[in-house]
A and B are shown apart, each in its own frame.
Chain A
Amino acid sequence: MTQVHTNAGLDSARTDFYRQLLRQMLLIRRFEEKAGEAYALGQIGGFCHLYIGQEAVAVGAIAALRDDDYVTSSYREHGHALARGMSSRSVMAELFGKATGCSKGKGGSMHLFDAELNFFGGHGIVGGQIPIAAGAAFAVKYRGGDQVSLCFFGEAAVNIGSFHETLNMASLWKLPAIFLVENNRYGMGTALERASAVADIAERATSYDMDAEVVDGMDVLATFEAMERAVHRARTDKTPTLLDVNTYRFVGHSMSDASHGTYRTLEEVEENKKNDPIGKLCARLLDDDLVTHKDIEEIDAEIIAEVEDAVAFAESSPEPEPEELFTDVYKD
């Protein structure tokens, strides 16, 4: 399936919206850079999967949602949480394992949740969140609502059973769900072509009679527009969509993984960095005189201050009380 690029020129009436997209992508980039530093300092433990390079996917996709829609994600979900509107403070404090974190320090990097924002997590088993997102869509249909349920997962998840079982149910029952594949081309260190007999992921949708699109995930506006079409199908036509969103991770799979060397070359990484989604949006906005260099610098300065505040908040926040060990196992 061929990828549809956005060719439309920018609309000056939407300058605030474009600036908001830029702001969110920059926030994720700076947040993740800081998280990487904090990990190196031992302030963040366990597994930590950074989102650097993929910012346009979370930001463009979530911008097409309403506040009452549902979002479910994988373990590389810091960006989705921030794009959904979770505060830098609550996410950073969670990475630091503090009581003020969104999950009270019990979830960590892979298990960010926010019930008020219908953010259904943060899931560590590849593909395990896909049926959960369909369940939210099922609940919408059950109640006769018009929300949609968006599920993020990586391209390596398309070979696991939960993907196929869920797409079948979602199409069979016409659930208002959007299955967004963040195709960064590598499942850890295994290239898509080395793992998938059919490497054209959108083609998988034909097995389930589902609409699909291939999207340039390094282009935040292309991602937003494809999502708007998918949201319309879900909200109005009550049908699901599979989006194959092409992106690239500029950093390693997790903190223990070098960004290149064994499974991909430095040249490949450098080549893809030329396609930086933040740089690309900045260039378009500058070309159309919708922002100035000074505007971008100001936004970046604000973001850096926000992220530094989040780190200071996380550092100064208390650890969970020892009694917290045994709370939240069961609900009353």
Chain B
Amino acid sequence: MPVLTYRDALNDALREEMERDPDVFLMGEEVAEYDGAYKVSRGLLEVFGDKRVVDTPITELGFAGLGVGAAMAGLRPVIEFMTFNFALLAIDQIVNNAAKMSYMSGGQFGVPIVFRGPSGAALQLASQHSQSFDSWYANVPGLKVVAPATPADAKGLLKASIRDNNPVIFLEGEMLYNTKGEVPDGDHVVPLGQAEAKREGSDVTLVCYSKSLIPTLKAADTLQNDSGISAEVVDIRTIRPLDTAMLVESVRKTNRCVIVEEGWPFSGIGAQLVDSIQQEAFDDLDAPLLRVTGADVPMPYNKKLERATKPTPQKVIDAVHRVTYTA
């Protein structure tokens, strides 16, 4: 199996889907001549030309809304936000138009569109360029929200998202682009709405997605080696629709659960996961559900302060000791 970076896996997905379907086009700031601010679209202009790889002005609301209209007219736009920090300028188009068009038209109009781009905490980019809005989008009926952690999932989920007939928010980990992993050959498609156990275990379930998979897997290794605690790591991969069944199945086995996420704690994704799990698995739980989250502050610039905001393996380990009463 070839080893690819997360960036190149995304590039492959875009290239393959654009080859497969002439209605798919990529639009955004710097996607064409500059090869993408994060080089995800490298080389696509050369292959597909400027009709299908479209540089835009800095006008997020405008090109997001234009994408919605193009999707209503039958195209399948992939709209790149240079980062999801800038997508706030477009959120009216995403929430009021893309998400609701099917419902408010009585099912007459679908909006098959992907809004994608880097998201999450970065490195020393300070408050406005380093944050997670996952729960904002996940809150909205009509949207699907996808957040892959590995190159294989990045490719397979992006292909599924482009083929989906609904608006998909595709959150790429800004710090994951250079990470490498095996990616299956051929038309590798990962269906939306399916979690995956990235590590089997029996004593505690650790739930995560996107970049939080990395500290979570490290914590699981350390727990095994240092304390003999066997942690199962479940990567939800798709935030909405959520694979509640798999989470519940894992928690029924381990009876304990810690949720790891990068976003702010209040009304975060983890809060929803806690609710979904306790409804189905309350009687199976031997400890409260705990969350490890980003700190409840705007992102500081200083490196040490910044590190203190993020989920780390040690924070995960501490939480596991609390739910296993081994502290």
Complex contact A138–B59 (CB within 8 A): no
Complex contact B57–A102 (CB within 8 A): no
Instruction: Indicate which residue in B62, B64, B92, B110 contacts A168 across the interface (CB closer than 8 Å).
Output: B62
**Residue A135 CB within 8 A of the other chain:** yes
Measured in the bound complex, the distance between the Cα atoms of B70 and A70 in whole Å is 11
Closest to B95 in A: A125
**Residue B20 CB within 8 A of the other chain:** no
Given contacts A120-B72, A128-B93, A162-B61, contact A135 B66 (CB under 8 A): yes
Tell me how many residue pairs across A and B have CB atoms closer than 8 Å: 142
**Residue A322 CB within 8 A of the other chain:** no
Residues of the A chain whose Cβ atoms lie less than 8 Å from the Cβ of B71: 135
Measured in the bound complex, the distance between the Cα atoms of B93 and A165 in whole Å is 13
Instruction: Indicate which residue in A125, A137, A149, A172 contacts B96 across the interface (CB closer than 8 Å).
Output: A125
Q: Chain A, interface size: which category?
A: 35 or more
Residues of the A chain whose Cβ atoms lie less than 8 Å from the Cβ of B105: 103, 107, 111, 113, 115, 121-122, 328
Residues of the A chain whose Cβ atoms lie less than 8 Å from the Cβ of B68: 131-132, 135
**Residue B104 CB within 8 A of the other chain:** yes
Residues of the B chain whose Cβ atoms lie less than 8 Å from the Cβ of A133: 69
Complex contact A131–B106 (CB within 8 A): no
Using a Cβ–Cβ cut-off of 8 Å, how many residues does chain B contribute to the interface with A? 40
Residues of the B chain whose Cβ atoms lie less than 8 Å from the Cβ of A104: 106-107
Residue among B62, B69, B142 with most chain A CB within 10 A: B69
**Residue A19 CB within 8 A of the other chain:** no
Residues of the B chain whose Cβ atoms lie less than 8 Å from the Cβ of A121: 101, 104-105, 109
Complex contact B65–A162 (CB within 8 A): yes
Complex contact A131–B104 (CB within 8 A): no
Complex contact B65–A132 (CB within 8 A): yes
Complex contact B108–A166 (CB within 8 A): no
Residues of the B chain whose Cβ atoms lie less than 8 Å from the Cβ of A140: 73
**CB of A247, distance to nearest CB on chain B (Å):** 25
**CB of B224, distance to nearest CB on chain A (Å):** 40
Residues of the B chain whose Cβ atoms lie less than 8 Å from the Cβ of A172: 57
Residues of the B chain whose Cβ atoms lie less than 8 Å from the Cβ of A328: 102-103, 105-107
Closest to B143 in A: A330
Measured in the bound complex, the distance between the Cα atoms of B52 and A295 in whole Å is 54
Measured in the bound complex, the distance between the Cα atoms of B144 and A72 in whole Å is 26
Within 8 A of B (CB), among A243-281: none
Complex contact A106–B62 (CB within 8 A): no
**Residue B56 CB within 8 A of the other chain:** yes
**Residue A4 CB within 8 A of the other chain:** no
Closest to B113 in A: A135
Within 8 A of B (CB), among A115-152: 115, 120-125, 128, 130-140, 142, 149
Complex contact A142–B62 (CB within 8 A): no
Measured in the bound complex, the distance between the Cα atoms of B101 and A115 in whole Å is 12
**What does the 1/0 interface line of A185-227 toward B look like (CB < 8 Å)?**
0000000000000000000000000000000000000000000
Complex contact B65–A142 (CB within 8 A): no
Closest to B75 in A: A139
Given contacts A128-B97, A139-B69, contact A169 B62 (CB under 8 A): yes
Complex contact A103–B104 (CB within 8 A): yes
Residues of the B chain whose Cβ atoms lie less than 8 Å from the Cβ of A123: 97
Instruction: Indicate which residue in B61, B96, B165 contacts A331 across the interface (CB closer than 8 Å).
Output: B165
**CB of B48, distance to nearest CB on chain A (Å):** 12
Measured in the bound complex, the distance between the Cα atoms of B106 and A327 in whole Å is 9
Closest to B77 in A: A135
**CB of A127, distance to nearest CB on chain B (Å):** 9
Complex contact B102–A168 (CB within 8 A): no
**Residue B228 CB within 8 A of the other chain:** no
**What does the 1/0 interface line of A320-331 toward B look like (CB < 8 Å)?**
000000011111
Closest to A175 in B: B66
**Residue A114 CB within 8 A of the other chain:** yes
Complex contact A106–B104 (CB within 8 A): yes
Complex contact A139–B97 (CB within 8 A): no
Measured in the bound complex, the distance between the Cα atoms of B87 and A6 in whole Å is 46
Given contacts A106-B106, A125-B96, A329-B142, contact A131 B64 (CB under 8 A): yes
Complex contact B66–A131 (CB within 8 A): yes
**Residue B166 CB within 8 A of the other chain:** yes
Measured in the bound complex, the distance between the Cα atoms of B65 and A134 in whole Å is 8
Closest to B101 in A: A121
Given contacts A139-B75, A166-B62, contact A134 B69 (CB under 8 A): yes
**CB of B95, distance to nearest CB on chain A (Å):** 10
**Residue B304 CB within 8 A of the other chain:** no
**Residue A9 CB within 8 A of the other chain:** no
**CB of B56, distance to nearest CB on chain A (Å):** 7
Complex contact A106–B65 (CB within 8 A): no
Within 8 A of B (CB), among A40-97: 70, 72
Interface, chain B (partner A; CB < 8 A): 25, 51, 56-57, 59, 61-75, 92-93, 96-97, 101-110, 112, 141-142, 144, 165-166
Known pairs A106-B106, A134-B62, A161-B62; list 14 more (Cβ under 8 Å).
A102-B108, A115-B109, A125-B92, A132-B66, A134-B66, A136-B69, A137-B69, A142-B51, A161-B61, A165-B62, A166-B65, A169-B63, A172-B57, A331-B107
6 CB < 8 A contacts A-B: A121-B104, A136-B69, A161-B62, A168-B59, A328-B103, A332-B165
Of all A-B residue pairs in the complex, the 6 with the closest CB atoms, nearest first, are A135-B69, A131-B65, A165-B62, A104-B106, A139-B73, A132-B69
